[in-house]
A = this chain, B = another copy of it.
């Protein structure tokens, strides 16, 4: 099989300049599309063509050293568990950032914190948290590492939170089915406590707006048998329907209910969140909330870009498409 010969030496911008008889700066201006330069269209085309021909790739480290910017967006993830929909969001965000010349890199800090945080070695232009606000310690560490911007902005106390309308859909769905004694099941995992609390509070607000009593608070730890306790607590409180933090918690509740001889959905309705694969795997299949990941991903990318370039953030949170997917785990209250 004949493959094109690959030279060992890397192709630099200087090679293009030399080969075209231009100055290196001119080549740089063309390749970076530097504004405020007047370079003839013909020259531009020649530069692009030659870069293509030689297989030129900018040297990231050199660019970072010279410009002081890495063009890296570091997304800090919860160490576990990673929501299914979140991963799709990130794929979309990554594509959008790539088009803008940035790389999205995900990072999950170690629970024990033994390792050097990745922002120290990567010095991203932007760090974006998917787990609520950065701690003061993290903020200090990032500043010391030269991270120029963080999302949410630590200097802005009332920065926008991401929209969390899923719990509202869950509660509305259950209310529409005639349930009035509702519970909200948290995940007990401390590592996602912020997001859990946010969803819980949105569920509480939604119930309030519908003039329903505040949801009974349940807590499920996926590692142990706490789902059984939660189901027992719910039933003894007269609860007929549970909105769960996510599909895994919902599945755990369904499993525990079945083991306890409580029929789902006949005696207890359970609605999940994310439309993760598990939602259609378990029996009965879970009613859940599906997220328009593409839209949210692009919104995240826009947030990161505005922070990187010091623009103001995108004016409006996009109308994220949330859909309640009705499956077999919810039924009208009888």
Give A contacts to B, CB under 8 Å.
3, 6, 10, 55, 57, 59-62, 64-65, 70-72, 79-81, 87, 91, 94-95, 98, 103, 105-108, 110, 114-116, 118, 120-123, 136, 140, 143-146, 222-223, 248, 251-252, 254-255, 258-259, 277-278, 280-283, 285
Contacts and interface: CB of A to CB of B under 8 A. Distances in A.
Contacts of A144: 6, 55, 57
A72 B283 CA distance: 44
Contacts of A72: 121
A10 to B, nearest CB: 6
Given A94-B110, A95-B114, A258 B277 contact: no
A31 to B, nearest CB: 15
A103 B91 contact: no
B61 A248 contact: no
A258 to B, nearest CB: 5
A231 to B, nearest CB: 12
A114 B96 CA distance: 10
A146 B95 contact: no
Given A59-B65, A103-B121, A251 B282 contact: yes
A140 B59 contact: no
Contact of A94 (B106, B115, B255): B115
Contacts of A59: 65, 123
A205 B55 CA distance: 46
Copies per complex of this chain: 2
Chain B CB within 10 Å — which of A118, A121, A258 has the most?
A121
Nearest to A143: B6
A57 B281 contact: no
A6 B140 contact: yes
Contact of A277 (B81, B95, B103, B120): B81
Contact of A123 (B60, B98, B105, B259): B60
Contact of A278 (B94, B103, B278): B278
A259 B284 CA distance: 8
A110 B123 contact: no
A103 B118 contact: yes
A6 B136 CA distance: 14
B251 A281 contact: yes
Contacts of A61: 60-62, 64-65, 70, 123
Contact of A65 (B62, B107, B140, B251): B62
A118 B81 CA distance: 24
A120 B121 CA distance: 18
Contact of A10 (B80, B103, B146, B278): B146
